[in-house]
Chains A and B, each alone.
Chain A
Amino acid sequence: MRIESKIGMALGALMLIALYFMPFWTIDMSAPQYPEGIGMYIHIDDVTGHKRHDLQNINTLNHYIGMAEIHRDDFPEFDIMPWIIGFLIAFGLLAAAVGSMKLVITWIVLMVILGIVGLVDFYMWGHEYGHNLSPDAPIRVPGMSYQPPLIGCKQLLNINACSWPYTGSIFIGLSMLMASGVVYYEKFKIKKD
């Protein structure tokens, strides 16, 4: 691997550091009584409200339809994810240092697999959260479940919920682009020359 490819790969891996500082997913909700909006951010190690007390208020609202409360400690993912990202950064740096194309491609495959696993996990949580309703819920609408959308918007009773990647995901994307760019550069560009 050329030196610029090594640098590119290293930068790509280091971009994942951003995930320790910003959320990578957001769920925005709007309702007539919430003109200012209410919502939550998902970080690799935490779930927080858009505003200071949003999470508490979401839990308050959700108890009416029997949804479980959301608490950070109920998600083992938040304890595992920082290590996984750390591993990916280290692996990426190693691939750059060694200059092995095999390692770079393995890294990209790992990223894709983990991304898919993450989305599946998110979907399964959403399904559980939206379907496992307390039988004592004050408001029960026959046939209604409250699974938030995996990606995109969905009307749930009075609330329009939207689920989108957030700033941290931009860095994941950039990171993937850098690594893919390195592969493209090394495999096709240089060979042609």
Chain B
Amino acid sequence: MKEQKSKTLRGFLFGAGFVAIAAFLFTGCPSQQGMMDTREAAQKVYVAPGEHDEYYGFFSGGYSGQLSVWGLPSSRLLKVIPVFSQDPESGYGYSEETKPLFETSYGFIPWDDSHHPHISQTDGDADGRWIFINANNTPRIARIDLKTFETKEILELPNTGGNHASSFVTSNTEYVIGGTRFSIPYEADLDVPIDSYSDEFRGALSFVAVDQETGMMDLDFQIVVPPYNYDLGRAGKGPSADWVFFTTYNTEEAHTMLEVNASRYDKDFIAAVNWRKAAELVEQGHGRTVSAEYYHNYYEGNQGYAINDIKDQVTILDTREIDENFIYYLPTPKSPHGVDVDPTGEYIVGGGKLATVIPVHSFSRMLEAIDNNEVEEVIDGIPVLNYDATIAGEVENPGLGPLHTEFDGRGYAYTSVYISSEIVKWSLETFEVVDRIDAYYSIGHLMITGGDTKNPDARYMVGLTKTAKDRYLPTGPKQNHPAQLYDISGDRMELLLDFPTIGEPHYAQAIRADKIVDQVAQIYEMEENDHPDALLRIADNRVERDGNTVHVYMGSTRSHFRPDNIEGIRVGDTVYIHLTNLEQEWDVVHGIAVKGANNAEILVAPGQTKTLKWEPTRTGIYPFYCTAFCSALHQEMQGYIRVSAEDSDVELAWRTGTD
């Protein structure tokens, strides 16, 4: 018994010693907490009542499927923009206008997992026209308009399993990229054994062209690549602006227990894709058209019902079929996760999540290696370049599990490190770590204001972490994900604030508020309301029956609906209430909810028309009311709908006041 105890004790001591040594070996000196004087930190994040923040922050919602908007540095939540998940609060995904946005080749999908928002760019700088975000699960890309902060378009990506390497834009938003995290068979719906992986499965890298005027997306082409996991992607900038870099893992081509089987090789690849050349090849007719079913959902005018444009083919470039090289593999240690390009466009930083160093490739050396044909092997037509020929340096002691890197434009890079839960700052000149700071806890992405652009502002850094544990008042076994705000304007990184977020933010973006604040719409102009069922003049309010379908053309102004008494609806009818908010004043929102409607409420912004579908199943009197506290007499803003039996002969009638 006694011996047993001492053995256990010895085991413990040995274990503890091993962990300590391992920690030291991998990380060098432990991180500093780096919290500045509390009062000084508070002053730096304090934005007085009525004052505005310096930056808009856009945090992905992760498994919420949405995109949250924050003011930085105060870290106040400004808004949650619903994107891939239905939002009963606003009626997004419940109104007839927005439901088509959720249609895919798999039908209506009420949810997704949104990871990487990216603001449109001009000449390598965020320009604030649109922000794109990917859906990981059922592969899609959404475009959000930064005038109205609303989702305007969703494009499905075929032949893709887990659109994770997305939705990053090229320097002038020529393309938004998509990439398959899970390789799958290219032929849609192909029913094959899973262990035919190496033969039947292929990867897909998607290049979605963006119309510079309207922002409309179009899947220009896909590159068919070996069946690895394509994890993240980033466009180059400056000299490397014609290239996009994707990380890969699972070059082992495992299809089960990837935790072990995809971690065997010392090196996986960063795929360097010359997108301009690929686009030229497609233009010259080197691509092949294959059938594929995918949905393109968008609005045709300012308002109205989103439409489903169902596509049936896609152009592919298969590296096995094309003689010219437009894609190269750069060997990169151990299942790299992030791939990030420094502001000069010269350095390509891999986040080797299982590596003991951070590998940094040189773009100019890569071009030399291509010229000098320093090729180790060719995989399916893709030359694998020599590691030593492309590498510019390896950052030693980066901590355990380096993932993502952003830059301050002053010669330093900042890498998030998951396992040792810290951020390391290192020099792009010496490739040495110069500072490190704790993250709370287990950091995924980090974001520096402008840190992925040609001209970082580098005022603030946000760490997006995976678990809160004891950071805030406890809220049960599942808590919200935290973020930390750091000041990086000085030599040392300093923690300013630690705050809970919504969903699970993966990547985030920030843009100086003055770049977009003047373009933000205050109302929808009624004069530009082109909704086919809009009520352009309040006097035109009416109810129309067409068989079992009833259309209510209703208007709202403070503080009443027109009409507000409706009779002659029958059980079995499908009722569409088209509500136009005729207000033309900023932030005066009206909503509508009908008792017993198996639907959400609908919120209607000033000048907007939205449609609530309602299928009454019981006779009776149905109150409806304005759900948004719009005015002093909001409580009076209500109405009644009388529902009669299916065979009733109650005349269709509508009234308001003494009408």
Contact = CB atoms under 8 A, between A and B. Distances in A.
Interface of A: 52-53, 56-57, 60-61, 64, 138-139
Contacts of A138: 559, 632-633, 636
B interface SS class: loop
Contacts of A56: 584
A53 B584 contact: yes
Interface of B: 523, 557-559, 583-585, 632-633, 636
A53 B585 contact: yes
A141 to B, nearest CB: 13
Nearest to A57: B585
A60 B523 contact: no
A1 to B, nearest CB: 52
A64 B583 CA distance: 15
A61 B543 CA distance: 28
Nearest to B583: A60
A60 B632 contact: no
Contact of B557 (A52, A53, A60): A60
Contacts, number: 21
Given A56-B584, A60-B583, 19 more contacts: A52-B584, A53-B523, A53-B584, A53-B585, A57-B583, A57-B584, A57-B585, A60-B557, A60-B558, A60-B585, A61-B558, A64-B558, A64-B632, A64-B633, A138-B559, A138-B632, A138-B633, A138-B636, A139-B632
A57 B606 CA distance: 12
A105 B557 CA distance: 53
A117 B322 CA distance: 87
A64 B630 CA distance: 13
Contacts of A64: 558, 632-633
Nearest to B557: A60
Nearest to B586: A36
A138 B585 CA distance: 21
8 contacts: A52-B584, A57-B584, A60-B557, A60-B585, A64-B633, A138-B633, A138-B636, A139-B632
B388 to A, nearest CB: 63
Name the residue among A52, A53, A139 with the largest chain B CB count within 10 angstroms: A53
Contacts of B523: 53
Contacts of A60: 557-558, 583, 585
A138 B657 CA distance: 13
B444 to A, nearest CB: 39
A64 B637 CA distance: 13
A55 to B, nearest CB: 10
Contacts of A57: 583-585
Contacts of B636: 138
Sort A-B residue pairs by CB-CB distance and give the 3 closest, nearest first.
A53-B584, A57-B585, A56-B584
A139 B636 CA distance: 13
B587 to A, nearest CB: 9
Contacts of B557: 60
A180 to B, nearest CB: 45
Contacts of B633: 64, 138
Nearest to B50: A35
A32 to B, nearest CB: 12
Nearest to A56: B584
Nearest to A52: B584
A64 B558 CA distance: 9
Nearest to B584: A53
Contacts of B585: 53, 57, 60
Contacts of B632: 64, 138-139
B538 to A, nearest CB: 11
A56 B583 CA distance: 8
A112 to B, nearest CB: 40
Contacts of B584: 52-53, 56-57
A57 B523 CA distance: 13
A27 B42 CA distance: 43
Nearest to A139: B632
A34 to B, nearest CB: 9
A53 B585 CA distance: 7
Contacts of B559: 138
B20 to A, nearest CB: 59
Contacts of B583: 57, 60
Nearest to B523: A53
Nearest to A49: B584
Nearest to A61: B558
A172 B633 CA distance: 44
A53 B584 CA distance: 6
B659 to A, nearest CB: 14
Nearest to A36: B586
A80 to B, nearest CB: 30
A52 B522 CA distance: 12
A32 B249 CA distance: 58
A52 B523 CA distance: 11
A26 B613 CA distance: 46
A174 B619 CA distance: 73
Contacts of A139: 632
B217 to A, nearest CB: 32
B636 to A, nearest CB: 8
Nearest to B606: A53
B341 to A, nearest CB: 42
B527 to A, nearest CB: 10
A56 B586 CA distance: 13
B520 to A, nearest CB: 14
B315 to A, nearest CB: 46
Name the residue among B585, B632, B633 with the largest chain A CB count within 10 angstroms: B585
A23 B633 CA distance: 34
